[in-house]
Amino acid sequence: MLRNGRSQAILFAGLGILMGYAAATGGLHLDKFVRAADVDKNRTAGERDSFKPVTEPFPACCQIGGAKAQALAQLATHNTAVAARTEQSGKKPNILIIWGDDIGWFNPSCYHRG
């Protein structure tokens, strides 16, 4: 009986209908192990140890004061030197940009009437 393709289709369609009905009515609990734990409402923010004050110095991207000004001055010096070298050589940089968005067989208009 199950070797017939039509009977298999009917059997699996019926199985899908039953599983869909069980899931829709709430009778199918496949997420038994992934439920969230209860929240402890009595716990305060002071009990958490993840909110520690920062004691180490700031990283280079967040420097405040003279160090930031010094870094900006070095960057300006570097940019000026690069611009001078480019102007002296007279060459344009070799940059190739290839843009593509969802390139597939049907996108080029040579393959279809679009």
Question: What is the sign, positive or negative, of the torsion defined by CA atoms of 11, 13, 16, 18?
Answer: negative
What are the sequence ranges of the domains in the chain?
A: 1-28
List CB contacts of 71: < 8 A, sequence separation 6 or more.
60, 63
33-58 pLDDT, tens per residue? 776 666 666 666 555 555 566 666 66
CA distance 78 to 83: 9
- Taking phi first (over 0 means left), then psi (-120 to 50 degrees means alpha), and beta for anything else, what does residue 26 get? left
pTM greater than 0.75 (yes/no): no
Q: Does the structure show a pLDDT above 70 at 1?
A: no
* Confidence at residue 57, expressed as pLDDT on a 0 to 100 scale: 65
